[in-house]
Structure 1
Amino acid sequence: MKKILMIEDDPGISRFVGDRLKIEGYDINIETDGIKGKERALNEVFDIMLIDLMLPLVSGFDIIREIRTRGVLTPIIIMSAKFQMSDKVSGLRLGADDYLVKPFEFDELLARIEAQLRRGSYNVENEIDSFKFDSFILQFDDCKLIKNDVDIKLSKIEFNLLSYLIKNRSRVVPIDELLNKIWNYDENVSTRTLYVHVAWLRKKIRENISTDRIRTVRGIGYQFIS
């Protein structure tokens, strides 16, 4: 049973959404203020979090910022009456994975939850300590790429990019997702920046002229071929 944390101070919404999610087979946990919600988000394991922005004591923005700063990668869907584009962009840049404007239909929320859980299922290999390909070993904990016992120099961006592609190698990773996860939606970073870093990375991990571990899917994204 998937475990969901909902931080929502509106009793009508929390009751309705909570009851419907229980019917759908989810283990729903509800907190109505920011302090208790943040504490549970940081100290318990959930499969997904639903977070309102306008909360008593601690705002949803601050909760999301703290969650991501602490390295918690649980998918987050913002549920908020704030409909301005600036609010959506701020929430996504802080690390939320989706944004749903109130009022919303329950079926849409359910579909978005299911989509995030499917995406999360692709990342089950994120727990591995290292990954071997060709004559390379990528050590996730030590942030090192080693070839024949020699360290290969990678920038922080190159290491994060290679790690993310390897951990999600079962699928094509969309360009927007890479910009979000690697550069945190920095408005100064363009797709051109991503293309350049991929090109640099390819040169460093190519064994020979015929070996290209990073596959380009034109107009969509990239996939690491193992």
Structure 2
Amino acid sequence: MNEHILLIEDEEALLTTLTDRLRAEGYSVEVARNGEEGYHHGTRNVFDLIILDIQLPKRNGFDVCRDIRQAGVATPILMLTARGQLVDKVVGLKIGADDYMTKPFEMIELMARIEALLRRSPMRPPEKEEVQQFGDLRVDLRGTEVTREGKPVALSAREFQLLRYLLENRGKTVSRGELLKEVWGYSASTYTRTVDMHIASLRQKIEPDPKQPQWVHTVPGLGYKFAAL
């Protein structure tokens, strides 16, 4: 296993419990006890997953998540909080978190969430070209970094996974069902607009003109494709 996890948590009892359990499960764990330290670890080192508490000293979890994404890091982020308000979950997901758990939680559920995120982690090495360039858009598949004109593009882990899948099938039309199955792990028969919403968000971030996309094309009635060069 040996996936590398960054745990950003200031509650010592929970920190110890989570660290011990994760290591017992075979994960490599690095710890940060405040938001400032967590941000620096998360942007300077390579991790397969970040577990991030919201209520942190020095810099709260929302700010850490947002700033990590703005730095161009697409590592999956699982947020932890004692809050139970829906608005906190919505905010977390909008700024780039990939999953969210409210304390107190069952350890078995947390482990299942971690495994699910790691299975679809963009950190897994691709078999194709590691760096691809499209006009002013540069995609580093291994480093999980995307830049436009040399500036970081803040993609969520799911947006990065979507972009990577489209790139791996460049020039081929992929259906919404295929994307749901391969990127989200859902049944292809699941009805949801999440693919369309993520495509729209991805275009806003990587296209020079999102209303007239140069790279991510819609194929009416069939799905989407990344333009062939």
Place the TM-score, normalised by the shorter chain, in its bin.
0.5 to 0.7
Q: CA deviation at 1:129?
A: 3.4
Looking at structure 1, the residues matched to 199 and 41 of structure 2 have their Cα atoms a distance apart, in angstroms, of 24
Q: Secondary structure at the match of 1:96?
A: coil
Two-structure CA RMSD over aligned residues (Å): 3.8
Q: CA deviation at 1:172?
A: 2.5
Letter of the 1:128 partner, please give it: E
Q: Which residue of 2 aligns with 1:129?
A: 131
* Structure 1 runs not aligned, ≥5 long: 131-138, 145-159, 187-192, 204-213, 217-221
1:176 aligns with 2:194: yes
Given that residues 129 and 141 in structure 1 are in contact (C-alpha distance below 8 angstroms), is that contact kept between their aligned partners in structure 2? no
Q: CA deviation at 1:46?
A: 0.5
Q: CA deviation at 1:168?
A: 6.1
Q: Which residue of 2 aligns with 1:38?
A: 39
Give the TM-score taking structure 1 as reference length: 0.66
Q: Which residue of 2 aligns with 1:148?
A: none
Looking at structure 2, the residues matched to 79 and 95 of structure 1 have their Cα atoms a distance apart, in angstroms, of 14
Report the structure number with the largest CA radius of gyration.
Answer: 1
Q: CA deviation at 1:41?
A: 0.7
Q: CA deviation at 1:121?
A: 5.6
Q: CA deviation at 1:173?
A: 2.2
Q: How many corresponding residue pairs?
A: 179
Q: Which residue of 2 aligns with 1:202?
A: 219
Identical counterparts, % of pairs = 36
Give the TM-score taking structure 2 as reference length: 0.65
Q: Which residue of 1 aligns with 2:84?
A: 83
Given that residues 123 and 168 in structure 1 are in contact (C-alpha distance below 8 angstroms), is that contact kept between their aligned partners in structure 2? no
Q: Which residue of 2 aligns with 1:104?
A: 105
Q: 1 or 2, which has the higher helix percentage?
A: 1
Question: Is the alpha carbon distance of 1:127 and 1:115 closer, same or farther for their aligned partners in structure 2, counting shifts above 3 Å?
Answer: farther
Larger RCO: 1 or 2 (CA < 8 Å, sep 6+): 2
Letter of the 2:11 partner, please give it: D
Q: CA deviation at 1:19?
A: 0.3
Given that residues 123 and 167 in structure 1 are in contact (C-alpha distance below 8 angstroms), is that contact kept between their aligned partners in structure 2? no
* Structure 2 runs not aligned, ≥5 long: 139-159, 181-192, 205-209
Q: Which residue of 1 aligns with 2:69?
A: 68
Q: Which residue of 2 aligns with 1:50?
A: 51
Given that residues 36 and 59 in structure 2 are in contact (C-alpha distance below 8 angstroms), is that contact kept between their aligned partners in structure 1? yes
Q: CA deviation at 1:162?
A: 8.6
